[in-house]
Structure 1
Amino acid sequence: MMRTVTVIGAGDMGHGFAVHFALHGREVTLVDHRRSNLDEAEERIREVVEFHDEEGLAPASPDEVLDRVSFTLDRDAGVSDAEFVLETVPEDLDVKREVFESVAAAAPSDAVLASNTSGIPVTDIAAGNAAADRIVGCHWWYPPYLLTPVEVVRGEATSDETMDRTAAFLEDVDRTPVVVERDVPGFVWNRVQNAVVRECMHLAEEGVASVEDINAAVRDGYARRTAVIGPFETIDVGGLDLYRTVAGNLFPHLSNADEPSDLFDEYLERGRGGIEDGAGFFEYDAPASEVTRRRDEGLAALGRALDDRRD
C-alpha cells in the first residue's frame, strides 16, 4: 500500500487531490512554484474539509487533514520520499516533460509517476524519459474529492506493473479506476463529454431548442438516468435491435463539426466567459465560489442517494 503522495501543482485540482489523499490517511506533499499558490491552497483545503464535515463526509477535522499535508517550493525535496507522484500542472507538453524529467531523477526509483493530463497523450509526455515505464496517465474528474471514476491511461512504454499499482492505489483511496488501454486524444471521459457538448451546441445553433431547454434536457433527463445506468446498460434495457435501428436513422443527422462552435466566440466577445464573469450561457447572481459550492452540494447529495440505493 502506498502511503506517501506528492502532488505537483497547487491549483484547482491540486488542492483537491491533497484533500482527498489526506482524508484517506495518506501523507501528502503539495508542491508549487509560488508561495502564494500554496498559501491559497492551504485555505482552500480547509474550506473543502469543512464542507465535507458539514455534509457528513469527513472522517477527520480540518486540522487533522492539514496535519497530513506539507507544502513546499522545492520540487526535488518534495518528491524525494514519494511512492506516488501526481502532477497537475498546465496542459503544456513542454512544461509536463520538464516536470517528469526532474521528478524521474529526484523521486525514488520505484515511484509511480502519474499525470493528470486531460488530453495530452501520455506517450508524448513520457517520450525520451528514462523512467517512461513508470509514467502513467491518471486523469481525475473535477472535483476530485466528489467524483469517483479516475482514468488510468497506458502510454506506449507504461508497464503492466505501473498500471496495476496505479489501479490498486486508486482503489485504496476509494476511487474507481477506468483502465484506458489505448492512448487516444481525450481518453474516454473527455471524448464522451465533448461529443455531448458538440451536439448541444449544434442544436442551439440550428435553433432546434433554446440553450435553457437543451441544458435542462441533458441535466434532468439524460444525465439523471446515466447516473443510475450507463449507456451500454441503457441499450440493454431498451434492446439492441431498437437502438441499432435508431442509430441507423439518426447518426447521419448528428453534428460532425471538427471546429468549436461559433457560439463560444459570440459569448466571449460579449464578455460572458463563465462564472468568473458573472455570465456565460447563463447569468449568475452569486460569486463563483458560491456557484461551485452549490454544485458540490448537489454532487454530495447525489452521491449519498446513489450509495443508499446500492446498499
Structure 2
Amino acid sequence: MQHVCIIGGGFMGAALAKYFLNAHVKVSLFEEFTTRRQELMADKTFQEVHFIERIEECKEVDFIIEAITENLQAKQQLFETIDDYFPASTTFCTNTSSYLISSIVENVKNKERVIGTHFFSPAHITPLVEVVPSAFTNSNHIQKTMTFLQSIDKKPVLLKKEIQGFVANRLQSALSREAMSLVQNGIVSTEELDFIAKWSLGVRLANTGPLEQRDINGLDTHMAIVKYVYPTLENGTEPLPIHEQLMTNKRFGMKTNRGFYDWSKTDKKQYLADKEKVLLNIINAVSAQDEEVGK
C-alpha cells in the first residue's frame, strides 16, 4: 500500500486526504493549527488518517504532498526545512497552482525529487492533475508520480516545461480577466456574464476542447473572427480596477459573504454539496462519452 503524508489540512489538504482514503492509500496528515487538526480528527470521514504533530514523525512514506497556503516564501521554507527528514526515495510534491517549481526549490538541496502536482478543487472529485517537473526533477520521480496518480484513477497530464500558472490556470485567468472587464465596462451584469459562460462555453467545454472546437468550426472562420476581435480584448497586465475595489472593500467572495455575489443568506455547505453532485454527473457523462469515441 502506498503511503502519502499531506502537509496542510485546509480545504485542499482535507479533500486530498478524503480521495486517497477512498483509493485505499495510507494517509498521514500534518496540520500545524491545533483547532483545525482537532476539527478534522473529530470528523468520521478522516478516522483512518494518521494525524501527526511534527512532520518528521511521518515514517516510510512514498510521497510528501504539500497543500499549504499559496505563498512562495512559505513553500520555499517548508521544502528547505524538511529536505533532510526523508530519504532520497521519497518524492516531494507541491500543490502550487501558479508558482514555478524551480522557484520553490531554489534553496532546496535535493531539488531532483521535487515535482508539481496541481490538483483541482474539489480535489476529491475532479480527475485532472497537472504534473509539473522543473529542470532539476529526476525522471524516476516523474515516472513514479505519474504511475501513482494513474493507479488511483486520477487523470495526470505531464507538462513538457514549467510556466507560471501552468495550463489550466492560465486559461482560467485569461477568461476571468475578460469576464471582469466586460462587467467593469458595463457590457453585461455579473449574473448575465456567468449565465452566458455556463450555457455556451461551459456545456461545450465539458465535451469539446477549445482547439478541437476551432477545427470543427473551421480555422479559416476563426482567423476572420480573431483579426476583428483580438485587438479589442482585455490585455491588462495588472489586476483590473473592479477586482482591486473588491479587495479594498474586503469582499473576498464566499469566505467573507460578499464578492461579486452576496452569499450571506446562502447555506454554503449545502450549496457546495449540490455543486459537487452536478460536477460528478458531468464527469461521469464526459467519461462515458470519451470511452464511446475511444479517447
Relative to the length of structure 1, the TM-score reads 0.87
CA distance in structure 2 between the partners assigned to 1:97 and 1:266 by the alignment: 30
Letter in 1 for 2:14: H
**Structure 1 residues 8-17 or 294-303, which shifts more?**
294-303
8 Å Cα contact 1:275/1:291 also seen in 2:
no
Letter in 1 for 2:9: A
Over 3 Å counting, the alpha-carbon distance change for 1:74 and 1:121 in structure 2 is same
Could you say what the CA RMSD is over the residues aligned between the two structures, in angstroms? 1.8
SS in 2 for 1:264: helix
User: How do 1:49-88 residues align onto structure 2 when only pairs under 5 Å count?
Assistant: 62=45, 66-67=47-48, 69-78=49-58, 80-88=59-67
Q: 1:306 aligns with which of 262, 268, 286?
A: 286
Q: 1:99 aligns with which of 67, 74, 78?
A: 78
For structure 1, list consecutive stretches of 5 or more residues without a partner in the other structure: 47-61
Q: CA deviation at 1:195?
A: 0.3
8 Å Cα contact 1:11/1:41 also seen in 2:
no
Alignment of 1:221 onto 2:220: no
Cα offsets for 1:35-64 (capped at 9, x unmatched)? 2222223456x4xxxxxxxxxxxxxxx4xx
CA distance in structure 2 between the partners assigned to 1:92 and 1:272 by the alignment: 20
CA distance in structure 2 between the partners assigned to 1:38 and 1:244 by the alignment: 54
Alignment of 1:136 onto 2:115: yes
Q: CA deviation at 1:189?
A: 1.2
Over 3 Å counting, the alpha-carbon distance change for 1:192 and 1:43 in structure 2 is farther
8 Å Cα contact 1:85/1:113 also seen in 2:
yes
CA distance in structure 2 between the partners assigned to 1:39 and 1:96 by the alignment: 24
Q: Which runs of 4+ in 1 moved over 4 A?
A: 268-271
Relative to the length of structure 2, the TM-score reads 0.92
User: How do 1:1-311 residues align onto structure 2 when only pairs under 5 Å count?
Assistant: 3-43=2-42, 46=44, 62=45, 66-67=47-48, 69-78=49-58, 80-270=59-249, 272-284=251-263, 285-311=265-291
Q: CA deviation at 1:192?
A: 0.6
Cα offsets for 1:168-221 (capped at 9, x unmatched)? 111111111121222211111111101000000111111111111111111221
Q: How many residues align?
A: 290
Q: CA deviation at 1:87?
A: 0.3
Q: CA deviation at 1:309?
A: 3.5
8 Å Cα contact 2:129/2:155 also seen in 1:
yes
Cα offsets for 1:136-167 (capped at 9, x unmatched)? 01111111011111111121211222222111
SS in 2 for 1:178: strand
